[in-house]
Amino acid sequence: MLIERWERFRGVDRWPEVLAVITDKKSSYMPSRVGASRFLTWVTVEYRGSDGALRSKTIRYWMTRCSFGVGDQLYVRCSPTDPSQIYFRESAQDNLLVAAGVPVVALVVWLCERYR
């Protein structure tokens, strides 16, 4: 899958997964003239970093449906060297597809693999 190659290239596939809880959520409906309409969503999550401290971070992502709610638990990847950096696959995948389109993402992943 493209997203797994992207994760390997960025190195986040080696970051440990930590459990996070959604503490806040805001969505804005974004109608589309072509394809499915989407929600631009911001969720604030609380998680414990590799240093054990409770942290809070807001994640922005595009989605075709609102699938997460306040109180839901999900896994994020936390940087072992900088616990304030987290990675949420759904956010990265949706943002890549919306911003660049599938053909461009495929090209970027191919280039990353080719010139590694």
pLDDT at 99: 45
pLDDT at 100 over 50: no
More confident residue, 34 or 10: 10
**Number of domains within the chain:** 1
Segments forming the whole domain that contains residue 38: 2-114
Q: Is the pLDDT of residue 55 over 90?
A: yes
The arithmetic mean of pLDDT across residues 30-47, rounded, is 76
Query: Tell me, what's the pLDDT at 98?
Result: 45
Residue 77 has pLDDT above 50, yes or no: yes
52: left (phi over 0), alpha (psi -120 to 50) or beta: left
CB within 8 Å of 13: residues ≥ 6 apart: 4, 7
- Judge whether residue 65 has pLDDT over 60: no
Give the pLDDT of residue 28. Answer: 82
